[in-house]
Copies of this chain bind each other. A is one copy, B any other.
Amino acid sequence: MRRGSAPGAAAAPGQDARPRGRSEQAELEPTPTRDRILDTALQLFTEKGFDATTLQEIADRLGFTKAAIYYHFRSKEDILMALHLRMHQLGVASLERMAEGPVTLEVWESLLSSLLDEMMAQRPLFLMHERNQAVLERIHRDNHEAQHEDLQARLREILSDPSISLRDRVRMSCSLGAVFGVLFIGGEALGPKSEELAPLLRDAIHDLLAR
Protein backbone atom coordinates (compact mmCIF):
# COMPACT_ATOMS: atom_id res chain seq x y z
CA MET A 1 0.00 0.00 0.00
CA ARG A 2 1.14 3.44 -0.65
CA ARG A 3 -1.28 6.02 0.61
CA GLY A 4 -3.93 5.87 3.26
CA SER A 5 -2.37 2.75 4.56
CA ALA A 6 -4.48 1.44 7.39
CA PRO A 7 -4.25 4.45 9.67
CA GLY A 8 -5.80 2.94 12.76
CA ALA A 9 -5.00 -0.59 11.75
CA ALA A 10 -2.15 -1.13 14.17
CA ALA A 11 -4.47 -0.66 17.11
CA ALA A 12 -4.45 -3.74 19.30
CA PRO A 13 -1.60 -6.19 18.73
CA GLY A 14 -2.53 -9.81 18.46
CA GLN A 15 -5.86 -8.72 17.11
CA ASP A 16 -7.32 -10.02 13.86
CA ALA A 17 -6.43 -7.86 10.92
CA ARG A 18 -10.05 -7.97 9.78
CA PRO A 19 -11.77 -5.11 11.53
CA ARG A 20 -15.39 -5.79 10.71
CA GLY A 21 -17.65 -7.16 8.06
CA ARG A 22 -18.52 -10.75 7.41
CA SER A 23 -17.16 -13.62 9.41
CA GLU A 24 -13.84 -15.02 8.32
CA GLN A 25 -15.50 -18.24 7.26
CA ALA A 26 -18.04 -16.58 5.03
CA GLU A 27 -15.49 -14.19 3.62
CA LEU A 28 -14.59 -16.12 0.50
CA GLU A 29 -18.10 -17.32 -0.17
CA PRO A 30 -19.60 -15.65 -3.22
CA THR A 31 -22.67 -13.52 -2.72
CA PRO A 32 -24.60 -11.53 -5.34
CA THR A 33 -23.37 -8.18 -4.05
CA ARG A 34 -19.84 -9.39 -3.66
CA ASP A 35 -19.86 -10.62 -7.23
CA ARG A 36 -21.26 -7.34 -8.50
CA ILE A 37 -18.43 -5.51 -6.80
CA LEU A 38 -15.92 -7.86 -8.38
CA ASP A 39 -17.44 -7.48 -11.82
CA THR A 40 -17.42 -3.70 -11.61
CA ALA A 41 -13.89 -3.67 -10.28
CA LEU A 42 -12.77 -5.97 -13.08
CA GLN A 43 -14.10 -3.50 -15.61
CA LEU A 44 -12.56 -0.43 -14.01
CA PHE A 45 -9.24 -2.03 -13.18
CA THR A 46 -8.95 -2.98 -16.83
CA GLU A 47 -10.01 0.37 -18.23
CA LYS A 48 -8.07 2.67 -15.93
CA GLY A 49 -5.76 0.45 -13.99
CA PHE A 50 -5.89 -0.52 -10.33
CA ASP A 51 -4.17 2.54 -8.93
CA ALA A 52 -6.27 4.97 -10.91
CA THR A 53 -9.50 3.35 -9.89
CA THR A 54 -11.04 4.65 -6.69
CA LEU A 55 -13.44 2.84 -4.42
CA GLN A 56 -15.70 5.82 -4.89
CA GLU A 57 -16.07 5.02 -8.59
CA ILE A 58 -16.81 1.39 -7.93
CA ALA A 59 -19.41 2.32 -5.36
CA ASP A 60 -20.96 4.97 -7.60
CA ARG A 61 -21.47 2.52 -10.41
CA LEU A 62 -23.17 0.12 -8.05
CA GLY A 63 -25.35 2.76 -6.52
CA PHE A 64 -24.09 2.66 -3.00
CA THR A 65 -21.29 4.22 -1.02
CA LYS A 66 -17.63 3.58 -0.54
CA ALA A 67 -18.09 2.45 3.01
CA ALA A 68 -20.46 -0.31 2.00
CA ILE A 69 -17.68 -1.99 0.09
CA TYR A 70 -15.82 -2.49 3.31
CA TYR A 71 -18.51 -4.82 4.50
CA HIS A 72 -17.63 -7.16 1.66
CA PHE A 73 -13.90 -6.64 1.39
CA ARG A 74 -11.24 -5.81 3.90
CA SER A 75 -9.35 -3.54 1.57
CA LYS A 76 -8.98 -2.40 -2.00
CA GLU A 77 -6.16 -4.86 -2.48
CA ASP A 78 -8.46 -7.65 -1.34
CA ILE A 79 -10.71 -6.95 -4.30
CA LEU A 80 -7.78 -7.29 -6.65
CA MET A 81 -6.63 -10.45 -4.95
CA ALA A 82 -10.08 -11.99 -5.23
CA LEU A 83 -9.99 -11.34 -8.96
CA HIS A 84 -6.49 -12.71 -9.14
CA LEU A 85 -7.68 -15.85 -7.39
CA ARG A 86 -10.43 -16.36 -9.93
CA MET A 87 -7.88 -16.35 -12.70
CA HIS A 88 -5.27 -18.25 -10.82
CA GLN A 89 -7.51 -21.26 -10.37
CA LEU A 90 -7.89 -21.51 -14.12
CA GLY A 91 -4.22 -22.08 -14.60
CA VAL A 92 -3.94 -24.83 -12.04
CA ALA A 93 -5.04 -27.67 -14.28
CA SER A 94 -2.53 -26.77 -16.96
CA LEU A 95 0.07 -26.27 -14.31
CA GLU A 96 -0.22 -29.77 -12.98
CA ARG A 97 0.15 -31.26 -16.39
CA MET A 98 3.24 -29.17 -16.88
CA ALA A 99 4.78 -30.58 -13.75
CA GLU A 100 4.25 -34.18 -14.77
CA GLY A 101 6.95 -34.81 -17.30
CA PRO A 102 9.42 -33.23 -19.69
CA VAL A 103 7.91 -30.47 -21.79
CA THR A 104 8.34 -31.28 -25.44
CA LEU A 105 7.02 -29.16 -28.28
CA GLU A 106 4.10 -31.54 -28.58
CA VAL A 107 3.27 -31.26 -24.89
CA TRP A 108 3.61 -27.50 -25.12
CA GLU A 109 1.23 -27.34 -28.03
CA SER A 110 -1.44 -29.27 -26.20
CA LEU A 111 -0.93 -27.22 -23.07
CA LEU A 112 -1.28 -24.03 -25.06
CA SER A 113 -4.40 -25.39 -26.63
CA SER A 114 -6.15 -25.84 -23.32
CA LEU A 115 -4.80 -22.54 -22.07
CA LEU A 116 -6.26 -20.94 -25.15
CA ASP A 117 -9.70 -22.29 -24.35
CA GLU A 118 -9.51 -20.94 -20.85
CA MET A 119 -8.32 -17.55 -22.03
CA MET A 120 -11.05 -17.30 -24.64
CA ALA A 121 -13.65 -18.06 -22.03
CA GLN A 122 -12.18 -15.74 -19.40
CA ARG A 123 -10.69 -13.04 -21.55
CA PRO A 124 -11.64 -10.07 -19.32
CA LEU A 125 -9.81 -11.60 -16.39
CA PHE A 126 -6.66 -12.12 -18.41
CA LEU A 127 -6.89 -8.65 -19.85
CA MET A 128 -7.12 -7.15 -16.38
CA HIS A 129 -4.18 -9.21 -15.27
CA GLU A 130 -2.11 -8.17 -18.23
CA ARG A 131 -2.81 -4.51 -17.63
CA ASN A 132 -1.96 -4.59 -13.96
CA GLN A 133 1.19 -6.64 -13.91
CA ALA A 134 3.14 -4.10 -11.93
CA VAL A 135 0.59 -3.86 -9.12
CA LEU A 136 0.12 -7.60 -8.94
CA GLU A 137 3.84 -8.14 -8.65
CA ARG A 138 4.07 -5.55 -5.92
CA ILE A 139 1.35 -7.26 -3.93
CA HIS A 140 2.81 -10.69 -4.55
CA ARG A 141 6.11 -9.56 -3.16
CA ASP A 142 4.47 -8.22 -0.01
CA ASN A 143 2.48 -11.40 0.65
CA HIS A 144 5.32 -13.73 -0.20
CA GLU A 145 3.22 -16.30 1.48
CA ALA A 146 1.07 -18.26 -0.99
CA GLN A 147 4.17 -19.38 -2.76
CA HIS A 148 2.95 -20.12 -6.20
CA GLU A 149 2.44 -22.64 -7.72
CA ASP A 150 2.32 -19.68 -10.03
CA LEU A 151 1.79 -20.11 -13.71
CA GLN A 152 4.20 -17.39 -14.71
CA ALA A 153 6.98 -18.73 -12.54
CA ARG A 154 6.62 -22.20 -14.00
CA LEU A 155 6.62 -20.78 -17.50
CA ARG A 156 9.81 -18.90 -16.90
CA GLU A 157 11.33 -22.05 -15.50
CA ILE A 158 10.57 -23.98 -18.67
CA LEU A 159 11.69 -21.17 -20.93
CA SER A 160 15.05 -21.07 -19.21
CA ASP A 161 15.56 -24.84 -19.14
CA PRO A 162 18.88 -25.44 -20.91
CA SER A 163 17.96 -29.05 -21.71
CA ILE A 164 15.57 -27.66 -24.32
CA SER A 165 17.21 -26.18 -27.36
CA LEU A 166 17.17 -22.41 -27.62
CA ARG A 167 15.39 -22.70 -30.92
CA ASP A 168 12.53 -24.61 -29.34
CA ARG A 169 12.30 -22.25 -26.40
CA VAL A 170 12.07 -19.33 -28.77
CA ARG A 171 9.26 -21.14 -30.56
CA MET A 172 7.50 -21.71 -27.26
CA SER A 173 7.75 -18.04 -26.39
CA CYS A 174 6.51 -17.14 -29.83
CA SER A 175 3.49 -19.37 -29.60
CA LEU A 176 2.63 -18.07 -26.18
CA GLY A 177 2.99 -14.53 -27.45
CA ALA A 178 0.88 -15.41 -30.46
CA VAL A 179 -2.01 -16.30 -28.19
CA PHE A 180 -1.70 -12.96 -26.44
CA GLY A 181 -1.31 -11.27 -29.78
CA VAL A 182 -4.59 -12.56 -31.09
CA LEU A 183 -6.54 -12.12 -27.88
CA PHE A 184 -5.23 -8.77 -26.76
CA ILE A 185 -3.59 -6.94 -29.64
CA GLY A 186 -5.79 -8.26 -32.41
CA GLY A 187 -8.56 -8.35 -29.88
CA GLU A 188 -11.60 -6.50 -31.05
CA ALA A 189 -9.95 -5.57 -34.33
CA LEU A 190 -10.15 -9.13 -35.60
CA GLY A 191 -13.78 -9.39 -34.71
CA PRO A 192 -15.40 -10.99 -31.72
CA LYS A 193 -16.12 -14.36 -33.28
CA SER A 194 -13.91 -16.61 -31.26
CA GLU A 195 -15.44 -19.65 -32.93
CA GLU A 196 -13.71 -18.73 -36.17
CA LEU A 197 -10.63 -17.36 -34.47
CA ALA A 198 -9.68 -20.39 -32.41
CA PRO A 199 -9.02 -22.86 -35.24
CA LEU A 200 -7.04 -20.28 -37.22
CA LEU A 201 -4.96 -19.55 -34.18
CA ARG A 202 -4.39 -23.22 -33.52
CA ASP A 203 -3.19 -23.69 -37.08
CA ALA A 204 -0.74 -20.84 -36.74
CA ILE A 205 0.57 -22.23 -33.48
CA HIS A 206 0.97 -25.62 -35.09
CA ASP A 207 3.09 -24.09 -37.87
CA LEU A 208 5.22 -22.57 -35.17
CA LEU A 209 5.75 -25.75 -33.19
CA ALA A 210 5.49 -28.61 -35.62
CA ARG A 211 8.59 -30.35 -37.00
Contact = CB atoms under 8 A, between A and B. Distances in A.
Interface in A75-104: none
8 contacts: A49-B135, A170-B201, A173-B185, A174-B178, A177-B179, A178-B178, A180-B185, A207-B208
Determine chain A's interface SS by DSSP, over half rule.
Answer: helix
A54 B3 CA distance: 11
B177 A49 contact: no
Interface of A: 2, 46-49, 51-52, 54, 131-135, 138, 155-156, 159-160, 166-167, 169-182, 184-186, 189-191, 196-197, 200-201, 204-205, 207-208
Contacts of A191: 160, 166
A174 B177 CA distance: 7
A182 B174 contact: yes
A166 B189 CA distance: 11
A132 B48 CA distance: 10
Given A160-B189, A190-B169, A134 B174 contact: no
A180 to B, nearest CB: 5
A87 to B, nearest CB: 16
Contact of A138 (B52, B138, B178): B52
B190 A48 contact: no
Given A48-B134, A49-B51, A180-B181, A186 B173 contact: yes
A196 B169 CA distance: 12
A208 B172 CA distance: 13
A130 to B, nearest CB: 8
Contacts of A175: 178, 181
Contact of A51 (B52, B171, B185): B52
